[in-house]
Structure 1
Amino acid sequence: MGTTDFQTGRHDPVRPLDEAQALDPSFYLGQAAFDVDQRHILAPGWQLVAPADLVAQPGDHIVRELGGKPVLIVRNAQGELNGFNNVCRHRAGPVALCDGKGAKRLRCAYHGWIYDLDGRLKVTPQMDGAKNFDPSGIRLPAIDVAEWCGMIFARAGPGPGFADVAADFAPLAAPDHLTAMQYHHSRTYPVAANWKVYVDNYLEGYHVPVVHAGLNAIIDYGDYTIDLSRWASVQKSPMEDDSLYGTGEARYVFIWPNTMLNILPNRVQTNRVIATGPARCEVEFGYYYLPGEERRAPEDDAFSTEVQAEDAMICERVQKGLASGAYTPGRLSPQQESAVWHFQNLLRRAYGTQKDTP
């Protein structure tokens, strides 16, 4: 799908829920749409990048990408979190190659330029002959970082402050339950579909009775409800008495643009959807448990992998359908797809504010 088609699709109008139809397929296809997503939606969007446990002590750091931008998050000697572009000011080498613990300084892996934990350039090997070169004013460009309920959020572009976004989604997310959780492990799943196809799929339980026999057996689909806020949505369902998850309520919270919190009795799973290409994405899972419940991690992991394989299968086929040329946007279910409508309208507004040609 070329730039012209995508530019036309960007004028897809916002409609009331009872008149809504799905997005134009051009939103999901081609390099032009992918580039706009990376630059204007994913890079500047607040997203969950790691459990705070991974950066608990001074010098602990993580390496991630936000909308294709390499970033580095580190805890400094005063215990504060700093975020930077993971790009050396010399010749764009990586300041850090991977996650690490207890670093005293940050040393570029290309030519060895050294920065302190606050991003200030401190050592520049073999630069003595450089006329009018003053390293004292050079530092790594900062990105925004926030810590919430034992989780690290970050963004690499301008937008609403984290306090405003968190105030919007926190009422949907049961933060008291989240703060009681302890991080256990992570897993990443590849999906051969555009990242928005995966998010669309996450945002409705409409497909659960058809695609997820195992999941459908433990949630009460007949009592499924959806609530919306400005930047977030939550799907809620009672859970049947189940040996794996227990009895209680399941909450599936989506936070614009690509973060999910699956809040279950005794545990939480976090998701971040990373766009890796026009028709590829990865889903980072983080697993958190109440103390004592981590013993269930192996079977929890196996069940989540089963559900994820089912989601990947259907998303990959949807991607092929979108690319086939045989699809025109269908109507949305007001009862079951209000969170899809909400997300797709946020996309429509985001695309509508961009004047540049991707």
Structure 2
Amino acid sequence: MLNLDPALYVDPAVLPRERDTIFTRTWQLLGPVSQVKDRGQYVAADLAGAKVFVVRGRDGQLRGFRNVCRHRGAKLLEEGTGRCATIRCPYHQWVFDDTGRLVTAPWFGDDPDFNPADWPLEPIHVAEWRGLLFAAISPETDLTTQLGELIAELADEPIETYQAAATDRVVFDANWKVYTDNFVEGYHIPGVHHAFFAAIEFEQFKTTAHKGFIRMTAPPRDGLFYRGKWLWMWPNWTLSLFEGGMNTSRINPLAFDRTEQIYHFYFADTSEATASKRASTIAGNLAVVREDYEVCVATHKNYMSGGYSSGPLSPRHEQGVHYFQNKVKEALAV
């Protein structure tokens, strides 16, 4: 098994292909569905450059749309969460309702050929699964099919009972696949995560690939907040379990050489009495993942330099890397 061709990480022409063949055609995690539990609440996101949003309508239904005005293509809503009664374009003040219908095109004149009904927002697909919200632009499959064997993997975990309590966003200068390669293997733990390495039984670290996801496990030693199971799901989201909760993240390319990772943290107990413990758990999670970014940035620079050609993958520790890279190659037809 050889590592993926470095040109697929550093050629700017690859990301538009990935947007078309991976990110547009798959379900993307937008975090907890509680972000849009009330009427008028929305979450707006970037999906590898494609702008989308999901809103809870006045009728209680969830709907998703391209975050693109039908007039001249302006972005309608800033990324993140919020609440609105209608969707007003900040550029030329076109107004859409929460079903996507164009309500007003002010100062547009009396053109008899202009019919507002011809210019609704472009819809996208929306789905919920166990308290998590997903969106897809042109999905190849339904969400259940994409999740694959993850459904059975988490059947006994009460993930929908956890309450979203915090979010964090980190941006770093490396290709999204460099970071994903890093996440789906434990081979780097002794060299990069010294405290984490001391807190697990590394000789028992195991990585296995399954339909739709990769599982990494290691017995934790006393004092580790993680429960010893880390999951990555095709194409770009993660779920890690800790005592009394979990975190999820979405690995999203902003450019061929720039990536954002959006984290959400969920807890069974969100009372004031556990606030300090929750803060410590969140800080511990983020401390571990931030140790990865430096090595990923340096790796990306070496790929850019032309000084690296594909090396061998470890059969024991890099099955996850092999699985992920094969999925990418299949999507790109390379």
TM-score, scaled relative to structure 1: 0.87
**Aligned partner of 1:259 among 220, 224, 237:** 237
Alignment partners' CA distance in 1, 2:285 and 2:87? 37
1:116-162 deviations in Å (ceiling 9; x for gaps): 11111112212341121111233111111111122211122231111
**Greater Cα offset, 99-108 or 334-343:** 99-108
- Deviation of 1:101 (Å): 4.2
Alignment partners' CA distance in 1, 2:185 and 2:238? 13
Unaligned ranges ≥5, structure 2: none
- Aligned position for 1:282: 260
Alignment partners' CA distance in 1, 2:33 and 2:333? 35
Query: Secondary structure of the residue that 1:176 maps to in structure 2?
Result: coil
**Greater Cα offset, 82-91 or 149-158:** 149-158
1:268-327 deviations in Å (ceiling 9; x for gaps): 111111111221111111111121555323222322332223101111111122222221
Instruction: Specify the code of the residue in structure 2 equivalent to 1:53.
Output: S
- Aligned position for 1:245: 225
Alignment partners' CA distance in 2, 1:136 and 1:39? 28
Unaligned ranges ≥5, structure 1: 1-19, 354-358
Alignment partners' CA distance in 1, 2:83 and 2:12? 39
- Aligned position for 1:6: none
TM-score, scaled relative to structure 2: 0.93
**Greater Cα offset, 34-43 or 262-271:** 34-43
- Aligned position for 2:308: 327
Alignment length (residue pairs): 331
- Deviation of 1:102 (Å): 4.2
**Aligned partner of 1:75 among 53, 56, 68:** 56
- Aligned position for 1:152: 133
**Greater Cα offset, 106-115 or 38-47:** 38-47
**Aligned partner of 2:173 among 165, 186, 192:** 192
CA 1:343 to 1:70, structure 2 compared with 1: closer, same or farther past 3 Å? same
CA 1:98 to 1:37, structure 2 compared with 1: closer, same or farther past 3 Å? closer
Query: Secondary structure of the residue that 2:248 maps to in structure 1?
Result: strand
Q: Retained in 2: the 8 A contact 1:87–1:93?
A: yes
**Greater Cα offset, 133-142 or 204-213:** 133-142
1:156-175 deviations in Å (ceiling 9; x for gaps): 22311112123432223356
Alignment partners' CA distance in 1, 2:155 and 2:219? 15
- Deviation of 1:236 (Å): 1.6
Q: Percent identity of the aligned residues? A: 30
Alignment partners' CA distance in 2, 1:120 and 1:54? 23
